[in-house]
Amino acid sequence: MKATGLFLLILSLIFAFRCDKPAHPPDSELESNFRQHEKDFQRLVAMSNEDPDVVRISFDFTWLKNNLNWPRPESEWGFSKERWNSYRQLFQELGLTCGLSRPNGSNVIELCASATGTVTSGTDKGYAYSETELTPTTPSLDNVPASLRNERIVYKKLETHWYLYYWQG
């Protein structure tokens, strides 16, 4: 009985600790990171624009517009191993835990800083770059207004072409 009680106490403490931790970094943390590393964010966008057929780049896989299979032979990654290592180094430096994507082949580049859950019931938060205005926007992704909570993706404008985004699947 004592072991069961101790186990339940430990389990309760772990659960309480995890519930107190926010699912994603606050806007202020992401904004500060962006301001400190803006040139590197711009470099990452430029690299992605040079590789427009690569629609998803992660630490451990790539997707092409016409080929989402993984693994693939190195000759079908969409770029060289050295180029991929350059992406991964920037992801590491910028705190982009889940890499970048061009959703649905769009011109929007999403740089994912945090992800929770699964593809069908998860959430992401990060940075978005777009030459065109993105909507809907809100002043805070930490406290999304009730009127926008059913939106799949919501943006917070940082500066020309740059946003924070919050996506829910």
In this prediction the pTM is 0.85
Please give the backbone phi and psi of residue 130, each rounded to the nearest 5 degrees, phi first. -150, 135
Structure confidence at residue 39 (pLDDT): 98
The length of the chain is 169
Q: Which of 168, 157, 169 is nearest to 30 (CA)?
A: 157
Residue in 104, 144, 146, 105 with CA at minimum distance from that of residue 125 = 144
For the chain of 169 residues, list the mean pLDDT of each consecutive stretch of 10.
Answer: 47 40 88 98 97 95 94 95 98 97 89 88 94 97 94 97 95
Sequence spans of domains, the chain: 24-168
